[in-house]
Each structure stands twice: as C-alpha cells, then as structure tokens.
Amino acid sequence: MPQSPAPQRHRILIIGGGAGGLELAVKLGDKLGRSGQAEVTLVDRGRTHVWKPLLHQVAAGTLDSHADEIEYLALGRRHHFRFRQGEFTGLNRATKEIQLAPIHSLEGEELLPASTLPYDTLVFALGSQTNDFGTPGAREHSIMLDSPAAALRFHRKLIDASIRAQAGAQASGQGRFTVAIIGGGATGVELAAELHMTARIMASFGLENVHPERDLKISIVDAAPRILPLLPERVSSAVSLELRKLDIDLHTNEKVVEVTANGVRMGSGKFIPSGLTVWAAGIKAPDFLREIDGLETNRANQLVVDRTLRSSRDPSIYAMGDCAACPLDDSGKAMVPPRAQAAHQQALLLAKTIPRMLAGKTPQVFRYHDHGSLVSLGEYSTVGSLMGRVASGGVFIEGMFAKWMYWSLYKKHQVAINGMFRTWLATWVEAIDRMRNPRIKLH
C-alpha cells in the first residue's frame, strides 16, 4: 500500500535581518525549526548583521564593523533557520510568494538569478530608511547614515579628508574643515560626539592638522526648537551643554531647503559651508512598501497592522519594527514609536504569537513598555532617562551609570541572538581587541 506523502511544514518567511527580524528568526528557529514544526527562513540583501544603533561609531571609525558583524548563515545553522540572501522587490498575495532581485558579485557577475520564495506566514521586518523629505540636493550631496555600507562610505571620506588636511596645513585665519549633520536626533548627536573624539585621537596619532578645536568644525542642524525633540527637555538641555563644551555648533529652528556640494542652505537664508554632509533627519519605511499588492500603508510607507501586529488586509502577513504602524492603545490615535526597544519587544511577541497561531490559539495583543532613552556622547558622557514613558521624563541619569546602561543595551541584543555564554566570550574578545588595536580605524 503506497504511503501518503509527509505533510508540508508551515513556511515562515521573515524579510529583514535587522535587530528585530534577526531576534525573531533565532527564537522561531529554536522553537519551531529545531522540532520540525515549521520551516523558518530569513531574507536579507546583506550577508551580515550590524546593530543599527552602532552605525555612528562605524562612521566615526571608533568601531570596526567587521569585528562586530554577525554572519547570517552561521547563525542560521546554530539556531535552525535558513538564510536566503536577496533584495525584496515584490509580493504576490494570491500565490503567497515574494520576489527577489538577482544577486551580483563586486565584479558584476550574477551569483543568483531573480527568484521567488513561497510562504504560509510572512513577516515584514525591513526597518526604516532616512527620509530626506524631497529636499533638493540631499540625495546627491549628503550621506544617509542608515546602513553599514553608508557608514563605511562616510568613514572612508572622513579619513580621506583628514589625510588631505594633514598634507596641506592651513595658514592662520583660514577656515576649518566642516562636517554638517542634518538632524538633531540621537543619531546626529551621537555622531557629532564620536567625530570630535575621532579627530582628537587622530591628532594624538600624528595627524596634528585635524585637531578638533582648531581644524575641524562640526555643526548640527535641526528644524525643531531643540535637539533631541522626542526626549525630555532635561535630557536635551544636558546634551546641548555637553556638545557646546566640545565647540559643536547647534543650529535649531533651522529648516534645510537645499544641500549643495559646498554646504547646506537654510530657509532663513543662512548657509553653512560643509566639506562632508550627513543627513540624519527623519525616517520612513522603504518606498516599495507603499500599498504593495493592496496592503494598507500610511504616509511614511509603514504597513498598517492591528495590535497583534497582523496586517489590516491579510491575516497571513505581519509587520514589526520601524516598517509597521502599530496602535499604541485601543484608541488608535498614537502609534508605537520607531525605536530599537519597540522592535525587540515586538520580536518577543511574534515569537509567541506565531506558535500560538499554528496551534489554533488566539494571538496576544502587543503592549509597548517604554524603558526610557539613552544618548551616548562617546567617552565624554552619556545622558538619558529611565523608567516610564519618555514623555513623562522618567528618572534622569548621566555619567558612568548611564554609560553602563547604554553598554548593557548592546549586550542584551547580543544575548538575545548568541546566548549568554557566547556573549560572555565576545565581551572578553572585545576587551582584548581594545588593548591590541588602535582606538580608531584608520583605513
């Protein structure tokens, strides 16, 4: 008597290997992939993962991305999920398939042709990209600091500019090399402090013509009345004070209307000369998500989901992190903020929801818990608020305790992916590398 074919395993497809998507793949792989209850596949256009809140350190050269990146293939083998490299280009809800663009080598050779992947449950975890709001010249003349590749490109330009400055010392009274950072949020503020520290270290290495107080000028521009407008005013004031101590210019209430090859022009008529411009103001979900195959999206291209993170128009599709518009409560008036801690919490929820769905149980509702915000100013200081919603202020902290809390956030992410023992080993390796290697990357 012929045997009936084995039932096909439920196919879970996660698009996006950022912090939230990778944590979800690890947890579902350990829970469902290991036991054979489901086939879990992670899709990302890159081959490695770097924690996005560290990109400003990669740009400044204070962090070597190659030392901290995580290999998707190796992690998938350890945690029982598959990895497929590819750039998402389309969705067919009728056939339950996604389309992937071809993959090419650095020499232009096609490694993988365009392809499709089937799914039973699809999770969008694509994160966000920088929103230039259509500002003329922004794309052509500034670097959008939203990927490891962009951070490395900025770092390369910074090193090149430093070498040029060292080769041709300026006469007394000549202008300094200026870096303009558009956006006074956490990314812009943290980058400014890291750049100041990088220049100081370069001067100690012998590049004396890039001294931060003499040869480098850093300017932050923001349209809001103060920097860090989404954080409590006490945090913003403390950070502003620290930045001014470092001679970093703060231009608030200034809307950028044009970015040129030579600088940044504001609506007030003010012009800031700039040898290197970074755009770190505003975020949005990728443009290709806008009403993709009939799914509901908002003005920021985010997929509209209910409080279980399920798409409003397709029960087999979920979205999480920065690319999801999830109501904060039943009123639907406020949305969950696009922050790393929100993506982490949503990954934990979906790691419970999807197995419950497979077991025929009702999904759980997402409840966002705001644990506060921390802003790192490199070796100079760390400032933030803990406990309670950001709007209420929470408990103000700064100094060494705040530095330790900021460091622990990254360790928490590493533990979620690699486990406690591997994170403990990695921490010792990091400590040894700090003693063995230069304090900044000079290549």
DSSP string of 3-35?
PPPPPPPEEEEEE--SHHHHHHHHHHIIIIITT
Q: Which of 175-189, 236-250, 300-314, 409-423 has the lowest mean pLDDT?
A: 409-423
Q: How far apart are CA 332 and CA 23, in angstroms?
A: 27
Q: What is the predicted pLDDT for the residue at 429?
A: 72
Q: At what angle do helices 72-79 and 19-28 cross, to 10 degrees?
A: 30
Do 100 and 90 contact (CB within 8 A), yes or no?
A: no
- Residue with the bigger pLDDT between 1 and 191: it is 191
Q: What is the predicted pLDDT for the residue at 173?
A: 40
- Residue with the bigger pLDDT between 19 and 11: it is 11
Instruction: Tell me which residue of 239, 166, 250 sits closest to 406, measured CA to CA.
Output: 239
pLDDT per residue as tens digits for the range 104-156:
887 888 888 899 999 999 999 999 888 888 899 999 999 998 888 888 888 88
- Indicate whether 442 pLDDT > 70: no
Token output for 373: 């915000």
Please report which confidence band the pLDDT of residue 24 belongs to, taking 50, 70 and 90 as the band edges. Answer: very high
- Indicate whether 174 pLDDT > 50: no
Q: How far apart are CA 335 and CA 304, in angstroms?
A: 10
Residue 205 CB neighbour total at 10 angstroms? 12
Instruction: Give the rounded percent of residues in the chain with a pLDDT score beyond 70.
Output: 82
Cα–Cα distances in angstroms (integers) from residue 268 to residues 222, 229, 256, 264, in the given order? 13, 20, 9, 12
Region 360-388: mean pLDDT is 77
Q: What is the predicted pLDDT for the residue at 392?
A: 46
pLDDT per residue as tens digits for the range 36-85:
999 999 999 989 888 888 888 888 877 766 667 889 999 999 999 999 99
Question: How does DSSP assign 238-261, residue by residue?
Answer: HHHHHHHHTT-EEE-S--EEEEET
CA 279 from chain center: how many Å?
Answer: 14
Q: What is the predicted pLDDT for the residue at 131?
A: 87
Beta bridge partners of 386: 372, 395
Region 83-89: mean pLDDT is 93
Please report which confidence band the pLDDT of residue 389 belongs to, taking 50, 70 and 90 as the band edges. Answer: very low
What is the helix, strand, coil percentage profile of the chain, to 5? 35, 25, 40
Q: How far apart are CA 33 and CA 22, in angstroms?
A: 14
- Indicate whether 438 pLDDT > 60: no
Q: How far apart are CA 93 and CA 234, in angstroms?
A: 48
All residues at 6 or more sequence positions from 261 whose CB lies less than 8 Å from its CB, including other chains: 141
Residue 36 CB neighbour total at 10 angstroms? 9
Q: Give φ, ψ of 82 to 5 degrees.
A: -95, 150
Q: What is the predicted pLDDT for the residue at 431?
A: 66
Residue type, 48: T
Q: Give φ, ψ of 270 to 5 degrees.
A: -65, 140
Predicted TM-score of the model (pTM): 0.86
pLDDT per residue as tens digits for the range 394-407:
565 556 666 667 66
What's the per-residue H, E or C state across 34-83?
Answer: CCCCEEEEEEECCCEECCHHHHHHHHHCCCCHHHHCEEHHHHHHHHCCEE
Of 240-254, 377-391, 400-414, the range with the highest mean pLDDT is 240-254
pLDDT per residue as tens digits for the range 276-315:
899 998 888 888 898 899 999 999 999 999 999 999 999 9
Q: What is the predicted pLDDT for the residue at 398?
A: 58
- Residue with the bigger pLDDT between 435 and 413: it is 413
Q: What is the predicted pLDDT for the residue at 44?
A: 94
Average of per-residue pLDDT values in the chain: 84
Q: What is the largest CA-CA distance in the chain?
A: 94
By CB neighbour count within 10 A (0-12 exposed, 13-18 middle, 19+ buried), where does 234 fall? middle
Residue 248 CB neighbour total at 10 angstroms? 22
Instruction: Give the rounded percent of residues in the chain with a pLDDT score beyond 90.
Output: 44
pLDDT per residue as tens digits for the range 185-227:
888 888 888 888 887 777 666 666 666 667 778 999 999 999 9
Do 406 and 384 contact (CB within 8 A), yes or no?
A: yes
Please report which confidence band the pLDDT of residue 331 belongs to, taking 50, 70 and 90 as the band edges. Answer: confident
Q: What is the predicted pLDDT for the residue at 425?
A: 80
- Indicate whether 275 pLDDT > 90: no
Q: What is the predicted pLDDT for the residue at 1?
A: 46
Q: What is the predicted pLDDT for the residue at 311?
A: 97
Residue type, 107: E
Q: How far apart are CA 53 and CA 186, in angstroms?
A: 9
Q: Give φ, ψ of 340 to 5 degrees.
A: -60, -40
Residue 388 CB neighbour total at 10 angstroms? 14
Q: What is the predicted pLDDT for the residue at 172?
A: 43
Residues in the chain: 443
